[in-house]
Structure 1
Amino acid sequence: MEFDVIVLGGGAAGLNAALVLAQARRSVLVLDDGTPRNAPAAHLHGYLGFDGRSPAELLATGRDEVRRYGGHIEHARVRGVRAGDDGFVVDHDGGAVTARRLLVATGLADELPDIPGLAQRWGSTVVHCPYCHGSEVQGRPVAVLANTPDMAAHQGLLLRQWSDDVTLVRGWDRTETDLTGEQLERLEARGVVVVDGPVVSVAGGADDIEVTLAGGRVLERARLFVGGALVFTPRDAVLRQLGCARTDTPAGSYVAVDAQGATSVPGVRAAGNVVDPMANLIVSAAAGASVAAALNRELVEADCREALQLL
């Protein structure tokens, strides 16, 4: 069977795209390897209608909705993509499938700071985004790590909106985070405490964390925010394989797309964190819907051209 669209990735962007396409009576297949970025998180926030519920519940509901409209979803790991007759062939660990168009929504991977005890607490007491997790600890003490002066100052000031007790760890990884005099003045004015690292280890319970600094000082916090200390790695091997043009962003090199997710390769679009590292769940879902509408419009034009040739 040839599909109209194969969607690579079954997160918010991929599933919402598949839903819109299936509702438009397009044959659509979602291939997903079952490794969502937000799997460690117990709750999601800022998503209308799902606030406070689990990311796993959102995805399960999305899969049911896609299938309700005739969309297909398979658990599979993609091995590669190649050009085929009037479309693309996707090779995966269950075989090969073909489609007229391809939508890549494979997300990104978070590279965590190499601090003992941190990875085990990722998604619980070690978190990245104030908008995603700030409401969980409002009014409680938090700590912040960031790898550039601008990001450190930004994160420290931002988290003051959720907590009156914010500690910014400068030089947490044994490299100097040189805050300017103006940045330090702004942080001090808002009551953000700046301390020097490095961070030796983290420990703690289910709802708190202990950040141990060199010299033995321990910061007892509710959460450790490390969004400014992460390295984002887009899961874009397929887009690289297809030769999609790239662009440099403040977060690194990403595949370049237009407002409707079109890449430089005809017939290939992308949505979500694979091309936009700052997109949260609801933004990724909205991008999936927008790109799906553009794909359907593109297919309508192709169908029309084929029909005219038959006259």
Structure 2
Amino acid sequence: MAEQAEIMRDVVVVGGGAAGLSAALTLARSRRRVTVVDAGAPRNASTEGVHGLLALDGLSPLELLRRGRDEVTRYGGEIISAEVSDVSCTSLGFAVMMRDGGVLHGRRLLIATGLVDELPEIPALRERWGRDVLHCPYCHGWEVRDRRIGVLATGPMSVHQALLFRQLSDDVRFFSNDHDLGDQNRAKLDALGIPVIPGGVSRLEIVDDRLTGVRLNDDRIVEVEALAVAPRMVARAEVFANIGIRPTPHPAGSFIAADSTGRTSVTGVWVAGNSVDLSAQVGAAAADGARAAAHINADLVAEDTDRAVARRSGAETVR
């Protein structure tokens, strides 16, 4: 990594998911020197397939990333497998430090680190995440259609989640998990025939490597074949604190605020994908990365042009 520090990149992309790779592809095709730093921990790694992605529906998430990396490097982009430990501002842009001691320098920085799903501490829940415990009806709903679906109350999005899954199955039940629903939410569930199961949840019942039910604190078991859980979604932003990037609280977690182009409040820093949009699916995250990359490239073009004009004006003055 020693020689990497001597190279000034146009853009350093932190995060090699759909948003980061899509941005890198756009930048590399614009003949920008771009490096993606990726820690290799994709959010959807436990999922069998990416769904709702036009022409690639059902493709393995890991295969999607492999193809994306190949496309980026084909156009001259660079991908480094490493974990970023800190980022600082320099006179020319940014220094990105890795835990292995390496340093990358870039004129612009794109944050595409995604988010972390904070799940309830219920035995067996995390192990089933992305399989028969899921959260997004658009990503996984078709795969559990017409099954017995439970929805676990975790916060303000849970009732809305139940209404969405009711579109996919006539057999949906809502586990209140000792949350207070309020009269309005209960009326919505009643109107759609979604029974509310009172009481706290103690664990999930797994038989032959499949979800069969939810055990309540009073030892009752309610049969389900899939369980929808709205996690708290938290933007991965810790390593950017030293340059002034801090997450903005949201009822569902936190995100990194930016304008419509992905430009943050910190000069030279953009953000794309789930870091800025908690609800973005893979296709939307990829599109967001491409859009941010186009604006970053335009910003670099403007800066390079201004420098060229200044140099030319200086040369003419000397003559």
**What TM-score, normalized by structure 2, do the two folds share?**
0.91
Alignment of 1:166 onto 2:166:
no
Give the corresponding residue for 1:189: 191
Matched, 1:214 2:217: yes
Between stretches 43-52 and 135-144, larger displacement belongs to 43-52
Q: Is the 8 Å Cα contact of residues 200 and 214 (structure 1) preserved in structure 2?
A: yes
- Counterpart for residue 102 of structure 2: 95
Does the aligned pair in 1 maintain the 2:237–2:247 contact within 8 Å? no
Question: Do 1:125 and 1:209's aligned partners in 2 also have CA atoms closer than 8 Å?
Answer: no
> How far apart, CA to CA, are the structure 1 residues paired with 2:30 and 2:216?
56
More off after superposition, 243-252 vs 289-298:
243-252
CA distance in 1, matches of 2:252, 2:148: 28
Q: C-alpha separation between the residues in 1 aligned to 2:213 and 2:59?
A: 27
Q: CA deviation at 1:94?
A: 4.9
Q: Which residue of 1 aligns with 2:315?
A: none
Give the equivalent residue in structure 2 for 1:85.
Answer: 91
**Is there any run of 5+ residues in structure 2 with no aligned partner, and where?**
1-6, 313-319
C-alpha contact 2:86 2:240 (8 A) present in aligned 1: no
Tell whether 2:62 aligns with 1:59: no
- When normalised by structure 1's length, the TM-score is 0.93
CA displacement at 1:206 relative to structure 2: 3.8
Worse overlay, 212-221 or 245-254 = 245-254
**Maintained 8 Å contact 1:89/1:99:** yes
Q: Quick check: 1:111–1:232 contact (8 Å CA) kept in 2?
A: yes
Deviation (angstroms), 1:46? 1.2
Mean Cα deviation higher: 59-68 or 93-102: 93-102
CA offset at residue 207 of structure 1?
A: 4.3
Paired residue for 1:223, among 223, 226, 237?
226
The 5-angstrom pairing of residues 1-311 of structure 1 reads: 1-92=7-98, 93-148=100-155, 150-170=156-176, 172=177, 176-204=178-206, 205-227=208-230, 230-244=231-245, 247-311=248-312
Q: Following TM superposition, by how much is the alpha carbon of 1:264 offset from its aligned partner in structure 2, in angstroms?
A: 1.1
Determine if contact 1:134/1:162 at 8 Å carries over to the other structure: yes
- Deviation digits for residues 242-271 of structure 1, max 9, x if unmatched? 113654432344332101111111101111
Alpha carbons 2:189, 2:195 under 8 Å: kept? yes
Quote the sequence identity (%). 47
RMSD: 1.5
2:8 and 2:105 in contact (8 A); partners too: yes
Deviates more, 1:271-280 or 1:205-214: 205-214
When residues 248 and 216 of structure 1 are mapped into structure 2, their CA distance, relative to the original with a 3 A threshold, is closer
Larger Cα-atom Rg: 2
User: Separation in 1 of the partners of 2:252 and 2:187?
Assistant: 27
Q: What code does the residue aligned with 1:212 have?
A: R
Moved >3 Å (runs of 4+): 205-209, 245-248
Query: Tell me, what secondary structure is at the counterpart of 1:91?
Result: strand
CA distance in 2, matches of 1:246, 1:184: 32
Does the Cα contact within 8 Å between 1:105 and 1:270 map onto a contact in 2?
yes
How far the C-alpha of 1:286 sits from its partner, in A, is 0.9
Partners of 1:94 and 1:76 in 2: how far apart? 10
Question: Within 1, Cα distance between the matches of 2:51 and 2:298?
Answer: 32
Equivalent AA in structure 1 for residue 203 of structure 2: S
Using the TM superposition, give the Cα deviation of residue 2 of structure 1 relative to its aligned residue in structure 2, in angstroms: 1.1
More divergent stretch after superposition (117-126 vs 237-246): 237-246
**Other structure's SS at 1:225 match:** strand
- With 50-59 and 234-243 compared, the bigger mean Cα shift is at 234-243
Whole-angstrom distance in 1 between the partners of 2:133 and 2:254: 26
